Amino acid sequence: SERSFIMIKPDGVQRQLIGEIVSRFERRGYKLVAAKMMTPSVQLAKQHYAEHDGKPFFESLVNFLTSGPVFAMVWEGKDIVATGRKMIGKTKPLESDPGTIRGDFGIDVGRNIIHGSDSVDSANREIKLWFHAEDLNSWKPVTQGWIYE
Ligand code: GTP
Ligand code: MG
């Protein structure tokens, strides 16, 4: 089944939104397969956001991500990559709809609370970057038959 790398950024941790965000994914029916709190190194942040290297906001983005603990997660379920992005909301604050995480909790593009992989290929790359294979838990919640037909 599909997996996505979802990370609560330092602003989301400081604002004590971990429970709120984890709850949204759980209630939707997705399955948590890994989670850890950590302060990312500069090297890890640069690798994570390598696609943005050279852009004007790259340095501040790396400084922000490494400024304190993040809550890194892997979530699993049908279409989790695309649905996760919908639940997170658009990058630009004016486009992030109410009901989405960014649309409910954020104002500034540089303090947007949460990251979600933008494709299945990105998800596979990011999961490998942030987690060891042995830390991914394969399990079957008893609710599965009531979430999937
Ligand atoms: P992530 O899930 O964090 O990857 O966000 P995203 O996929 O919605 O956006 P994208 O990958 O394009 O950009 C990564 C991060 O860089 C965003 O979450 C923003 O925090 C930041 N960012 C993107 N575009 C801008 C911009 O135009 N200005 C500034 N200041 N920050 C930006
Ligand atoms: Mg992105």
CA of 110 to the centre of ligand 1 (A): 7
CA-nearest residue for atom 2, ligand 1, is: 115
Give the DSSP H or E segment for 141: none
Q: Which residues line ligand 1 (CB under 6 A)?
A: 52, 57, 61, 91, 109-110, 112, 115-116, 118
Q: What is the pTM of this model?
A: 0.97
CA of 117 to the centre of ligand 2 (A): 6
What three-state secondary structure class fits 142? coil
CB 112 within 8 A of CB 102: yes
CA distance 113 to 141: 28
Per-residue pLDDT of the chain (149 residues; tens, 9 = 90+): 999 999 999 999 999 999 999 999 999 999 999 999 999 999 999 999 999 999 999 999 999 999 999 999 999 999 999 999 999 999 999 999 999 999 999 999 999 999 999 999 999 999 999 999 999 999 999 999 999 99
CB 60 within 8 A of CB 52: no
Both structure tokens of 64: 């922000």
Backbone angles phi, psi at 90, to 5 degrees: -70, 160
